[in-house]
Amino acid sequence: MTALFQLDDRPLLSVKGLTKHYGSRIGCADVSFDLFPGEVLGIVGESGSGKSTLLSCLAGHMTPDQGQVIFRTTDGPRDTVTMAEAERRRMARTDWAFVHQNPRDGLRMGVSAGGNVGERLMAIGGRHYGDIRAKAIDWLGRVEIAADRIDDRPRAFSGGMQQRLQIARNLVTGPRLVFMDEPTGGLDVSVQARLLDLLRGLVREMGLSAIIVTHDLAVVRLLADRLMVMKGGHVVEQGLTDQVLDDPQHSYTQLLVSSVLQV
Amino acid sequence: MIEISNLCKSFTLHNQGAAVIPVMTNAALSVAHGECVGLIGASGAGKSTLMRMVWGNYLAASGLIRVGTLDVASAAPRQIIRLRRETLGYVSQFLRVVPRVPTLDVVAEPLLNLGIDSVQARSRAAELLARLNIPERLWALSPTTFSGGEQQRVNIARGFAHSYPALLLDEPTASLDAVNREVVLSLIEEAKARGAAILGIFHDEAARARVCGRLVDVRDFTPKAAA
């Protein structure tokens, strides 16, 4: 067990007993896990399995009925469920980022591409126009959007470009934790591949931790270090991604893995 | 470097009448630094299963799988992630990569994950690809469109990019011509010379005889009832 002590032993995010009901129906129940710096956690399950509810509770978009979501802030661990709303909002703009499935939910469609990226910087106190524009151009380049599109509005962009712009807008402030809800859903496969490569590079270069909700097992195999499988609001299995996919232990995971069509 | 003892494994097929299939009992072997041990036994005897348990993508039912200082059989996922990044390499028979990523970057990736700068990582990748006779005009293309033999060589280049102290090789010479087979065998010999512990499956008997110091027959670990 010597190797254990060489690792950074403090989780970035520690989730304990997270539960959310919709009336008498279960949204998600008793979910617990730790996420460590630089790790990508995938959450899979069919529609209605509770994965989106879980992500919303984790990201503070929804208040859980029970449980803790402890984030390691620069001032030490804090439970984000009980934190004041203003403080949570500040964290959502700085340490955290949220990439929506539909870019329209994460972008301001009436504002230019450069404005979309710059806005996040201004929200955390950026004031110098030249610096903000330079940083926006740098980030558009990183997500492979040509600098001459900086003044165009996202509505003039393709779906894949909009999604890349949303990622730039989210990552420009150097967050430590990114929540992603089906980030490659709705994109055609060739665009998906490019986005996957981009995300992997950014995770590696920025040392990001990420939680990705998806129903696409091929996406998690390529992107996630660890995997959590949900059914009926419960986590039925979790572990190393390739272990869960290659040697699934739970009957539902076995069904899920064996149901994928081979190309 | 690699030490396996009392290792057991069974599969439970929940959706096929909850059938329990025992596949391995009391497997034991060890691989020292600078040694290459070959796994033998008929197809289906459990060579790949054993290899996958060492890699950590198959769960052990019980027993010990020590790689360096870590027991893979009981390790937490993040410990295995780290083991794979720094200590344990794996050349599988299948190339699994993000589509559209250039071959040079696919091979350099294990080095980039270790924090090695991209110029140095790509130059090491280029050196290996050249040695394995992948034409330079293909380096900027994704290997997903390559022939079987080319994909295998890309996989080998990727597996040898970092000097892992321990290596798992699953039929590394299977679909290669004589020239490239020779290159792969010398890569294995060089890895042994620098002290790597290697566990391999070789159907190519001449290759096996040349690089393996010892053989382990996995049929010794096959559960008797199933045999």
Positions of chain A with pLDDT under 70: 1-8, 262-263
Confidence at residue A7, expressed as pLDDT on a 0 to 100 scale: 54
Q: How far apart are the C-alpha atoms of A94 and A257, rounded to whole Å? A: 37
Q: Which residues pair with A213 in a beta bridge?
A: A43, A181
Question: Above 90 in pLDDT, residue B81?
Answer: yes
CA distance A223 to A216: 11
Cβ partners under 8 Å of residue A174, min gap 6? A206
Indicate the pairing of strand A66-73 with strand A234-240.
unpaired
Q: What was the pLDDT predicted at A262?
A: 64
Q: In what order do the strands lie in the sheet with B70-71?
A: B19-31, B2-13, B62-67, B70-71
| CA gyration radius, chain B | 18
Residues of B in contact with A189 (CB under 8 A): 99
> CA-CA-CA-CA torsion for A247, A242, B172, B88, nearest 10 degrees?
-110
**The complex's ipTM?**
0.91
- In whole angstroms, what is the distance from residue A165 CA to residue B126 CA? 33
Beta-carbon contacts of residue B82 (< 8 Å; ≥ 6 apart): A3, A7
In this predicted structure, what is the pLDDT of residue A263?
54
Model confidence pLDDT, tens digit, residues B194-226:
999 999 999 999 999 999 999 999 999 998 764
**A196–B contact, CB cutoff 8 A:** yes
pLDDT in tens, A56-99: 999 999 999 999 999 999 888 999 999 999 999 888 888 999 99
Among all residues of chain B, which has the CA nearest to that of A4? Answer: B79
Give the B-side interface with A, CB within 8 Å.
11-15, 52, 56-59, 68-70, 75-83, 96-101, 112-113
CB contact under 8 A, B98 and A226: no
**pLDDT value for B225:** 60
Please report residues of A whose CB lies closer than 8 A to that of B97.
222
The rounded Cα A51 to chain-centroid distance in angstroms is 12
Q: What is the pTM of this model?
A: 0.90
A204 contact B CB<8A = yes
Size of interface A-B (CB pairs under 8 A): 73
Better-scored residue on pLDDT, B124 or B18: B124
Cβ-nearest to B81 among A196, A225, A246: A225
Chain B CB contacts of A200 below 8 Å: 98
**Pick the residue with more confidence: B143 or A215?**
B143
For A43, A182, A193, A260, the CA distances from A186, given in Å and listed in that order, are 18, 9, 13, 18
A258 at interface of B, judged by CB pairs closer than 8 A:
yes
- Mean pLDDT taken over chain B: 94
Report the pLDDT value the prediction gives residue B182, as an integer from 0 to 100.
96
Reported as a single tens digit per residue, the pLDDT across B4-57 is: 999 999 999 998 888 999 999 999 999 999 999 999 998 889 999 999 999 999
List all residues 6 or more positions away from B179 whose beta carbon is below 8 Å from its beta carbon: B133
Q: Rounded to whole angstroms, how far apart are CA atoms A177 and A171?
A: 10
Of residues A6 and B170, the one with the higher pLDDT is B170
CA-to-CA distance for B67 and B84, rounded, in angstroms? 10
